[in-house]
Amino acid sequence: RGKGLDGKEGRCRGMHPHGSLQWRCGGGKAKVPRCRSSTKGREEEGGDALRLRLRLPRMGTGTWAWGNQLVWGYEEGMDEELREVFELAVERTATSGAGAIFDTGDSYGTGRLNGRSEVLLGDFRKKRRRRRGQGEGAGGDSDGVIIGTKLATYPWRLTRGSLVRACEASLKRLQLDRMELVQLHWPAAKYNPLQERALWEGLGDIHDKGLAQAVGVSNYGPKQLVKIHGYLRERGVPLATCQVQLSLLSYGSLQRELLAVCEDLGIHVIAYSPLSLGMLTGKYSKGEGNTNTMPRGLRSLLFGRILPRVQPLTNELEAVATDLRASPSQVAIAWCMSKGTIPIPGAKNLEQARLNFGALDLELSDQHCQALEAAAKRCTASMTTNVFQTK
C-alpha cells in the first residue's frame, strides 16, 4: 500500500526510495521499464567510461511559454510570478540533492520577444545568486540550478562555427560563461544532411571549448541518435540527454525503441510535452455551452480535433487520480517518471508549478500503469508528432 498526496493510504504498491540521476555514457543491456518508481543513476562497468557528475532531478520545468504570446498568451506582467515559479522549482528540487533543471531554447519567445525565456532565466538566476552571496557567470549546479537550452537548427546555421556563435549568444542572454547543458533542438537530417554533420561538429566544439558542461539532442529518433552518439564518442564527448515528445498520448514504437537505445547507450531521456499541451490536465472538455472549456488560441483547434477521441484515457486518468487523491496532471507526469524519463511540464503560474511538483509525491502501481496504457490504446487519436522528429 502507498500514500496519496494527502498522506493517506491508498492502493499504490511497489514504492522505492527515489534517487537523483547522473549523466553518464556507457554500456548496459537495453531494457524498457514497465512501471518503476526509482530512477537512480548507476555506476557503469566498461563502456566508454565518459561520465559527468552533475546530478539531474526526477523532473524539471519547461519554459516554452515564457515569452510565447502566440500559443501561450505570455505578457510581460507575468514576469514576477514566473520568478516565483523559478524559486519554487529550485526549492522543491533541493531536497533531492539534485539541481532544478529548466528547459529552454534560443527560439523561445515570439517576435521582439525572441530569446525571452533565456533572458528571464538569466535574470532570475542572477538575482538568486546575489541573494545567496554567490558569484555570477559560472555554470554548474552549485546554486541548485541546471539550465538546459536548445539551439535551433535554423537553415542559415550551416557551419560548425555558426552553432558555436549561437551558443555564445545564448550564454550572453543567460548571463553565464558556461552552461550546464546545450542541446540541438532538432535534426536537419530530413532536409539537409550536409548541415546535420556540421551541427554535430559544432556541438562537439561547444563541449570542447568549455561552453557547456554537457551536450544533448532533441527530436532524434533511435537510428539518428546512434549515429550522433558514435560521432561524439569518437571525439571523447559524452552525449548526455535526448529529448523526445513522450506522454500517454505520445507513446508508440518510436518512443519505446528510443527508451531502449538510450538505456543501452547511457543517455538520459527528457520527456517534453508530458501533458500533451495541457490535454491531460483534466481542465478541458469539448461540449456544448458551459461544458465547453477549451483553451484559447491555437491550441483550441488541436484540442477540438483530438480531445473528443481520447475520452477512454482522460476517464482513466480521472479514475486513477481519484484512487490516489491526486490530480490527472500529476498522474500523467508520474507515469512519465515511471518510464525512467525526466518530464519537463511547463508552468505559467504558481498554481501550475505546485500542481506539477506534487507528482514527485505520487507513486503509481503496475496496475495503474497498465490501466492507463490500455486506456490510451483504446483511444482513436494520439498527439500530433513533431514534424522534425526523425526515426
**Which residues are marked as active site?**
108
| Residues with Cβ within 8 Å of residue 223, at least 6 apart in sequence | 390, 391
**CA-to-CA distance for 70 and 213, rounded, in angstroms?**
32
| Phi-psi domain of 214 (left: phi exceeds 0; alpha: psi -120 through 50; beta: other) | beta
| Grid cell digits, residue 150 | 536548445
| Phi-psi domain of 54 (left: phi exceeds 0; alpha: psi -120 through 50; beta: other) | beta
**CA-to-CA distance for 176 and 150, rounded, in angstroms?**
15
CA 345 to each of CA 113, 271, 273: distance values in angstroms, whole numbers, following the listed order: 21, 9, 6
245 phi and psi angles, rounded to 5 deg:
-70, 115
| Grid cell digits, residue 178 | 558556461
Please calculate the CA angle 363-43-366 and round it to the nearest 5 degrees: 20
Beta bridge mates, 192 = none
